[in-house]
Amino acid sequence: MTTNTGGEDAAEPKKQELNGAGEPTDGQAASPACSNDSSRSTSITAAVGDALPTDHPPYLLIWDWDDTIFPRSGLRRLQIDRLSQLHEQLLAELRRLEQRAIRVLEVASRFGSLVVVSNATRHWLDTSLGEFMPVLQGWLRERGVRRIS
């Protein structure tokens, strides 16, 4: 047992469990360092960067477009096929989703090459990217990420 200078037992800091989105599980409060999306993104990126082996072989990471990156079924259920049909709150949610997708893909790109695939036509893939997630479309183009359908 170790003691601190005050003579009290020094407790091990409790490790916080995170879910797949990097958020605390079981109702635990987020630490101040992770209180907003940008600082959480920085924390996740730093943690993943430190965990990467320096000599890893290049990997091919395949990302499904429909209902993995893009909420196709949800928009279909709402009968939305054009950006102009989205109300303000849903548009804001879609923009947040787009930014999170970019952050996830940025981290994934450190492991190797990215490919975005869809079972739908190439026209659907390009049109839905351009209509609903134009910032992501630009990000994919700038990095030469292939889109396959």
Digits of tens for pLDDT over the chain (149 positions)? 444 444 444 444 444 454 554 444 554 444 333 344 555 555 555 655 555 555 556 899 999 999 999 999 999 999 998 888 889 999 999 999 999 999 999 999 999 999 999 999 999 999 999 999 999 999 999 999 999 99
Q: Which two tokens stand for residue 31?
A: 């630490």
Neighbours of 11 (CB within 10 A): 8
Neighbours of 114 (CB within 10 A): 19
pLDDT of residue 27: 46
Q: Which of 142, 13, 131, 141 is nearest to 80 (CA)?
A: 131
pLDDT of residue 35: 41
Contact in structure between 16 and 28 (CB atoms under 8 Å)? yes
Residues 134 and 124: their CA atoms lie apart, in Å, by: 14
